[in-house]
Amino acid sequence: MRTGSVVAEFRTLVVEDNKSFLDFVTSTLHRQPNLRIVGEAQNGIDAVERAEALQPDLILLDIGLPGLNGIEAAHRIRRLVPDARILFLTQETAAEIVGEAFDLGAWGYVIKAQAGKELLLAVEAILSGKKFVSDGLNSHRPVGRT
């Protein structure tokens, strides 16, 4: 998190292979004044490379990516950018995937079908230091997680 004059600015990387959904996410994020999108990637390998090069504070990461899935990309990103806050934005709802995401240190998990109402809520929670899980997935969250 790079600090500006008063409000912290979060440098953000968006990783999504569906161009129209990527456009939706970036236009939604532009409504958050303390976010600056510094890069985009459309596959897992590019996500890792751009995360290393850009050192973002926040990474929105799909799981179903070509080349390298989002879970494996997150493993690699975690080693290269340990302080980045990862928000998974995906269609995956399986309890073991949600659990693995939080075991990796995810700050949030939003189901794409609920992104219209939850994406900004999730980002705001994460920026204020809280974790976020889409409605209906709370039972999938590992025990002891906030």
Domain regions of the chain by residue span: 2-136
Instruction: Enter the pTM of the model.
Output: 0.89
Closest to 86 measured CA to CA, from 95, 144, 76, 33: 76
CATH code assigned to 2-136: 3.40.50.2300
How far is 85 from 131, CA to CA, in rounded Å? Answer: 10
**How do the pLDDT tens digits run along the chain, 146 residues long?**
544 444 578 999 999 999 999 999 999 999 999 999 999 999 999 999 999 999 999 999 999 999 999 999 999 999 999 999 999 999 999 999 999 999 999 999 999 999 999 999 999 999 999 999 999 786 554 443 34
Cβ neighbours around 6 below 10 Å, total: 5
